Structure 1
Amino acid sequence: MSTVAVLGGGIGGLGAAYYLSKCPQVTKVIVLESSGRFGGWLWSTRRPDGAVFEHGPRGIRPAGAVGRNTLNMVEDLGLADEILPVTYSHVASKNRYLYVNKQLHRMPSGLGGVVRTVPPFTRPLLLNIAMEILKKRGKEEDESIHSFVSRRLGQELADIAIDSLCRGVFAGDCRMLSVRSCFPILFNSEQSKGSIVLGMLLGSGGGPVVPPGRLAQRSAKESWAQWSLIRGVQSLPEALTEFLQQSGRVQLHRDEAVTKIRPSGSGWTIHLEDGVLTADHIISALPAKALSLALPSSCQPIIEQLQDISTVTVAVVNLEYQGSILPVTDRGLLGVVYDSVPFPEHNRPEGHTTRLTVMMGGAWFQEAFGDAESVSEETLLARATEAVQTHLGVTSAPSWSRVIVQRDCIPQYYLGHHRKVESMRSFIKKNNLSLSLIGSSYDGVSVNDVIFSGRTAVEELLGTKF
């Protein structure tokens, strides 16, 4: 295979190019990014005084095969010495709070939190766990996350904990999101072992196998819960970009929006705003709707399914306060992250400060703020500072702030999402299209999932294993 074009220069596209660059079968890799920067949602502000603020993912989890895969990549890129790990014993891992009935409640943790009744719950969680093992296996092909957890662990847990979890991870409504697509480990545990608990204890079988490198081995030995990098998570796409530039076989193009792609012989003709190029194969890391606009009419079945994958918009408000200020809710509020607790290294070195990030909107953006194009930064900042004051009792004004509206940033996997993805890939295979679909629109929204989708696509394309 001579030339592979990667559409989209976010972490998924860069990840795919990274794996392609390691395959001698590919002569040339072309990465096309429509914006002026690579990295997509991995975006960090680094102030001159040393403070770092994240506008997208702020911590990456090392668990599982996909987590080990990312750590192996980080090690290969020479970033191991820049890792900032947070262990499960760290206060940031143990202290998580829910805002229920106008009060902050610490989430139960440890054995004591499971065997005792801890507000806002009305009975010990151990009872829910014990009863879960006795529940019958579900018969539905797919189910909402709320329905699944209610059936297996009780409605209270679904209403309080799972609702908050889905707001934080997907910025979405757990009553609409698919458990099979969003939390496949829970779905597969029930299907293979008849129980979430047994599946988690015994393993649900299947899944990728990724041997751990030295860094991944260290994360397991030290029991990391998450990690970041000294200069923020944007360091990862920056290191990937530098690696690809030095590979000699990867061409990186910023400000190159793809307008149309057309079949041409055994490959594709790719139309840009100011030119045309050809490729033997395309790996698309574009958002689903963006790809739907570029495909030819002969791909109408895929176009319709791509356009049916919804996304949500999230307002990310970074706040900095002087001193130490730290000791459902507003439907528009997704959560408040105490950034200074897990990663104090990102505070400015001089003077004592507290960094928070307030995330708002998601599935409720339109309801809470109206049109994302017209809402003002002042409105979002006022709402964020009001939430911090109401929920955390912070009366002082922030000394610094930044408001970013991340439009259409998180795909929503509604019921039947897995069928859409299977159908699209079946159409591609049946029609011998030299096209691979990767990224958060299909197989998982986390950084680890998106990177691994790029690896999987390259392995399937070239019949190789990394």
Structure 2
Amino acid sequence: MTIAVLGGGISGLSAGYYLLRRFGKPLTIYEASPRVGGWIRSERHKNQGFLFECGPRTIRPKGLPGANTLELVEELKLPIKAIPSSHVAARNRMLYAKGQICMLPNGPKGLVSVVPPFSKPLYRALIHDLTTNGTVAKNQDESIYSFAERRFGKEIADYAISPMICGICAGDAREISVRFLMETLFEQEQKYGGVLKGMLYARFKDKADKAGAQGLFADGQDEPSLYRQARQEKWAMYGLGDGLEQLPRTLRKYLGERDVNVQLNSKCHNLSFNSDGCAVLSIRDTKVPVSHVVSSLPAYQLAQLTRTQHPSLAAQLLSIPYVDVVVVNMQYDSDQLLQHDGFGLLVPPVENLPVLGIIFDSCCFDMAGNTVITVMMGGRWFDKWFSQQPAVSQKELRDIAQQQVRKILRIKEEPKFSRVHMLHKCIPQYTVGHKRRVEGIRDYIRSYKLPLSLCGAAYDGVGINDVILSARRQVDAVQFTT
């Protein structure tokens, strides 16, 4: 019997890669759609020299997760487009707040002067942390907004943390678990009574990351040469030569050349488990017996497959919420339209606008004389802005995005070319209690001895590095007779 992977997004493909490397057994990846890559989608307009990214566009090379991804990129021989920390796209991060574009501080000067939208120098927030006593109860979770407000004050929570969460997971910081992004700081505060005190102990984190990265690689291998290069050249992030979709496309080709069967248009309709420790998939009205299943599906999709035989597991999976995001790519013929250079800007939720953020793609990568931007809208607030009518049209979404571009960026020209993507339930939300929720799901699988492993954005992090490392760790934990 074969091993089966459900889902042909980057996590599912990565699971296939690590399964092949570890076991070399017959392996099939089942993908419901006619393409691989999931939410990673690149649209190259070669004649005009620009690229639309409809999902993520860059990867961070930091720490163990970054090293792991770079090992995979190196194995696939993919062309890197590095953005060093000195690049304007790495240095300049902005907010749109209080009616203006505000450049976030990127140096010591920003700590001692008043920088909009903040009404006080940022060092005051650090003093607030040093002089604030008390933590939440031990082993409890709290929202990242509550944590930031408690340690640094309301302005930091509203204008620094909240927009950052919008940019990472399109979520509401008042709902997202602090363990999603700041688990180390949260635990240091629990142990030492303050974030700054805890950061003193984290000063050796880079050394720990390096040691951890070395320990991840088997057979005494050194850290990946690309990871070493990224550290030496101080990469802040990187893209790929033909867009990020080049990663899943190349990974599929790599697997196919090594006899991994990637079946497209192959939706799984049911997943059941036999008493002999095997699983049975229902694919195209055919029962497929397999020895083990690795699911990279969204949690709510896996819940539908398991609800008949394991309703309790399905209910736990359904407790992980998701949000809808609208992505609008726009291209203008001139490259002189942006008044500020940088990666882009975020819009704090307190501004009460439908926009989560705007990415300046043509500041990150060469777009051959074009201005290319990506507007992200909706997220946790999608229903508030776009569900007043049965189905908002692509034209209406495009018009709203263009109105916000005129308001925020002062670009009056109409885009020469644009593309609207409605990404339904694309990002899971790590709400308060998420870590314990995921532990409960995996405890259930272990207690019933189900031949099932879970990887992907629903469980161990929503970034590309996170889901690839999640796949690797779950494959490493698979136990059965080969």
Relative to the length of structure 1, the TM-score reads 0.93
Is 1:113 aligned to 2:123, yes or no?
no
Distance 2:127 2:323 in 1: 36
Q: Is the 8 A contact 1:313 1:372 kept in 2?
A: no
Distance 2:40 2:389 in 1: 21
Distance 2:371 2:352 in 1: 23
Task: Give the corresponding residue for 1:429.
Answer: 446
Task: Give the corresponding residue for 1:210.
Answer: 213
Q: Is the 8 A contact 1:372 1:405 kept in 2?
A: no
In structure 2, the CA distance between the partners of 1:427 and 1:317, relative to structure 1 (3 Å rule), is: same
C-alpha deviation, 1:373, in angstroms: 7.1
Task: Give the corresponding residue for 2:141.
Answer: 142
Is 1:415 aligned to 2:437, yes or no?
no
Distance 1:102 1:317 in 2: 22
Q: Is the 8 A contact 1:428 1:435 kept in 2?
A: yes
Task: Give the corresponding residue for 2:45.
Answer: 47
Q: Greater shift after overlay, 53-62 or 176-185?
A: 176-185
Distance 1:357 1:306 in 2: 32
Task: Give the corresponding residue for 1:259.
Answer: 269
Task: Give the corresponding residue for 2:239.
Answer: 228
Distance 1:300 1:274 in 2: 22
In structure 2, the CA distance between the partners of 1:195 and 1:47, relative to structure 1 (3 Å rule), is: same
Amino acid at match of 1:128: A
Q: Is the 8 A contact 1:380 1:403 kept in 2?
A: yes
Gapped regions of structure 2 (runs ≥ 5): 215-222, 340-349
Amino acid at match of 1:287: P
Is 1:56 aligned to 2:55, yes or no?
yes
**Deviation readout 1:293-315 (Å, 9 max, x if unpaired):** 00153322211011111100100
Map 1:398-409 → 2, pairs under 5 A: 398-409=415-426
Which residue of the other structure, out of 341, 350, 361, is the alignment partner of 1:339?
361
Q: Greater shift after overlay, 193-202 or 327-336?
A: 193-202
C-alpha deviation, 1:119, in angstroms: 1.4
Where 2:477 maps in the other structure, the secondary structure is: helix
Which residue of the other structure, out of 413, 416, 419, is the alignment partner of 1:396?
413
Task: Give the corresponding residue for 2:347.
Answer: none
Task: Give the corresponding residue for 2:258.
Answer: 247
Distance 2:246 2:390 in 1: 29
Amino acid at match of 2:337: I
Amino acid at match of 2:277: S
Where 1:114 maps in the other structure, the secondary structure is: helix
C-alpha deviation, 1:191, in angstroms: 3.2
Task: Give the corresponding residue for 2:308.
Answer: 297
Is 1:128 aligned to 2:125, yes or no?
yes
Distance 1:119 1:5 in 2: 52
Is 1:268 aligned to 2:279, yes or no?
yes
Q: Is the 8 A contact 2:455 2:470 kept in 1?
A: yes
Task: Give the corresponding residue for 2:372.
Answer: 355
Q: Is the 8 A contact 1:182 1:413 kept in 2?
A: no
Q: Is the 8 A contact 1:144 1:178 kept in 2?
A: yes
In structure 2, the CA distance between the partners of 1:429 and 1:95, relative to structure 1 (3 Å rule), is: same
Gapped regions of structure 1 (runs ≥ 5): none
Which residue of the other structure, out of 306, 314, 323, is the alignment partner of 1:312?
323
Q: Is the 8 A contact 1:372 1:407 kept in 2?
A: no
**Deviation readout 1:234-257 (Å, 9 max, x if unpaired):** 011011111111122x11100000
In structure 2, the CA distance between the partners of 1:372 and 1:337, relative to structure 1 (3 Å rule), is: farther
Give every structure 1 segment of 4 or more consecutive aligned residues whose post-TM-superposition deviation is greater than 4 Å.
Answer: 204-208
Distance 1:354 1:287 in 2: 34
Distance 1:267 1:26 in 2: 19
Is 1:326 aligned to 2:329, yes or no?
no
Q: Is the 8 A contact 1:77 1:243 kept in 2?
A: yes
Task: Give the corresponding residue for 1:377.
Answer: 394
Amino acid at match of 2:319: D
Where 1:173 maps in the other structure, the secondary structure is: coil
Distance 1:77 1:54 in 2: 21
Distance 2:479 2:242 in 1: 35
Where 2:166 maps in the other structure, the secondary structure is: helix
Q: Greater shift after overlay, 294-303 or 384-393?
A: 294-303
Q: Is the 8 A contact 1:339 1:355 kept in 2?
A: yes
C-alpha deviation, 1:193, in angstroms: 4.2
C-alpha deviation, 1:197, in angstroms: 3.1
Q: Is the 8 A contact 1:4 1:26 kept in 2?
A: no
Distance 2:363 2:456 in 1: 30
Q: Is the 8 A contact 1:29 1:251 kept in 2?
A: yes
C-alpha deviation, 1:186, in angstroms: 3.0
Q: Greater shift after overlay, 384-393 or 94-103?
A: 94-103
**Deviation readout 1:323-371 (Å, 9 max, x if unpaired):** 1200153431100111100112xx1x4xx21000000000111110117
In structure 2, the CA distance between the partners of 1:69 and 1:87, relative to structure 1 (3 Å rule), is: same
Amino acid at match of 2:169: F
Quote the RMSD (CA, aligned, Å).
Answer: 1.9
Q: Is the 8 A contact 2:129 2:152 kept in 1?
A: yes
Relative to the length of structure 2, the TM-score reads 0.90
**Deviation readout 1:230-280 (Å, 9 max, x if unpaired):** 1000011011111111122x1110000000011122110100133221111
Q: Is the 8 A contact 2:272 2:309 kept in 1?
A: no
Distance 2:479 2:213 in 1: 18
Task: Give the corresponding residue for 1:438.
Answer: 455
**Deviation readout 1:10-68 (Å, 9 max, x if unpaired):** 01101111111111x34111100000000101110012313211000011111121111
Distance 1:365 1:43 in 2: 21
